[in-house]
Each structure stands twice: as structure tokens, then as C-alpha cells.
Amino acid sequence: MSIIPNNPFGDAPFSAALSTTGPELTHNPAFLSSQVDWEETPEAHVFKADITGMKKEEVKVEVEDGRVLQIRGERIMEKEDTSNACHRVERSSGKFMRSFTLPANAKMDRVSASMEDGVLIVTVPKQHETQAIEN
């Protein structure tokens, strides 16, 4: 397993081990607001996850078993100010994890992540068709 240590948004490399599994999606519904879009462009697989209100340090992007992209994190409930009366609590808190098994054309050693306006964007470049056939 390769992990980007402490900063999932840096340029640290991921594991490049190969796997023959196809594109599959697994979901852990422990966190209600973990919706993720997966778009495939001619150049890359792009994942966009709604993580509004979270800091970069609270999110981890990992590669497991060579081809499984994992996005995980924990939104911690703000501490209550006991001097104020709380009338309603609707914002969710807790842990989440999403896993995606990527196809063989994904360059797992070139994964990058960024955050814009509460959306985590994970980009996994694709090999050109000639490179995928050679590997």
C-alpha cells in the first residue's frame, strides 16, 4: 500500500504495481455526504468528491493493491459552546471511505489531488493505448 504522507495534495508518488481487476466501485455508507463523480476523459480518470467544510489534512488519498484508489477522511463535529443554546444540528460528521478499482490503463504512479471550493479533485492519468498494450 502506498500512502501520500500527511499531505494528500503533494507530488509524492503512488505504487505502480499492476492488477488485472476491472473498474468496480465499492461504497461504505458510513458517511452520508461522500458523493463522488468518476469521469473518464481521453487523458485521465477524474474523481470529484464533495467534501465541503473539510481541511486537506482531514482527507487521505491512497492506492491499495496496486489499482484500488481510496478516498477517505473524517469530518469532526465542532465542539459545542455550552453558553449557547443549540436549536438544530443537521451537519453530518464521521468517517467516510470510497474505493474505486481502476482499469489497467491508469498510471497509478502519477495520481494527483487538489481541492477547490469544497470539492476534492483526484486525477489519475491514462496510458496511451500503445503503452497499455506493451504493459
Burial of 98 (0-12, 13-18, 19+ CB in 10 A): buried
Give the pLDDT of residue 95.
86
Please state the pTM of the whole predicted model: 0.66
Domains of the chain (ranges plus CATH)?
22-75+93-134 (2.60.40.790)
Q: What's 131's DSSP letter?
A: H
Whether 102 has a pLDDT exceeding 50, the answer reads yes
* HEC string for 65-130: CCCEEEEEEEECCCCCCCCCCCCCCCCCCEEEEEEEECCCCECHHHCEEEEECCEEEEEEEECCHH
| pLDDT tens digits, one per residue of 30-49 | 444 568 999 999 999 999 99
Whether 60 has a pLDDT exceeding 70, the answer reads yes
